[in-house]
Amino acid sequence: MSHPTRNAPDPGLPRHFRSCLGAFATGVTIVATCAAEGSVAGLTVNSFNSLSLDPPLVLWSLRRASGNAALFREASNFSVSVLAAGQLGLARHFALSAPERFAGVAHHEGLGGCPLVDAAIAWFECETVSVQELGDHLLFIGRVLRCARVPGVPLVFHQGDFGQTTALDADS
């Protein structure tokens, strides 16, 4: 029997490529920033990931066509709030293209004025060290200046839907 990759469709077909990426479960975050004049932006991101422990670096990506691209590109800082399983409503809220996304959302101001979502399970406050244009996205790399966490179950994204993690039994 041949391996599935031998007869796989071209990865240039967006629907096929996206389906394959969907097999990889990711966490769900709100990435936010604050411009020099004080305007803030925040959006749901599942491309957040660690990059380096020494120095502490993280990365995330944003579509170049996003209405928030210029604000994030020009900002010197960004924050990442890792959402808990009970924050599905916030993930959906920040996925919408709407002004004043933080209105009515419990949050506090972090470094550089970047909003941090309350009741998240982890937070990262970062200085932007690199923004690269790659394909149809911008890749942001940030040096973590401060981070914290509290116990909780993370919200995850898998196969185009939201869920939560469950621990495996040690014999699995």
Number of independent structural domains in the chain: 1
On whether residue 137 sits in a domain, the answer given is yes
Q: What is the pLDDT of residue 133?
A: 96
On whether residue 8 sits in a domain, the answer given is no
Q: Which domain holds residue 103?
A: 30-158
Amino acid at 51: L
Q: Is 38 left (phi over 0), alpha (psi -120 to 50) or beta?
A: left
Q: What is the mean pLDDT of residues 155-161?
A: 91
Identify the three-state secondary structure at position 32. Answer: strand
Torsion of CA 83, 87, 91, 93, to 10 degrees: -140
Average pLDDT, the chain: 92
| DSSP string across 86-148 | GGHHHHHHHHS--S-TTTT--EEE-GGG-EEETT-SEEEEEEEEEEEEETTEEEEEEEEEEEE
Half-sphere exposure of 29 (CA within 13 A, CB side): 26
- Classify residue 153 by its DSSP letter: P
Q: What is the mean pLDDT of residues 97-119?
A: 91
**pLDDT single digits (tens) 31-41:** 999 988 888 99
Report whether pLDDT(172) > 70.
no
Rounded-to-integer distance, Cα 80 and Cα 28, Å: 10
- Classify residue 167 by its DSSP letter: P
CATH number at residue 58: 2.30.110.10
Tell me which of 16-25, 62-71, 83-92 is least confident: 16-25
Cα 94 to its chain centre, rounded Å, is 11
On whether residue 1 sits in a domain, the answer given is no
Rounded-to-integer distance, Cα 39 and Cα 22, Å: 33
Tell me which of 7-11, 20-24, 90-94, 141-145 is least confident: 20-24
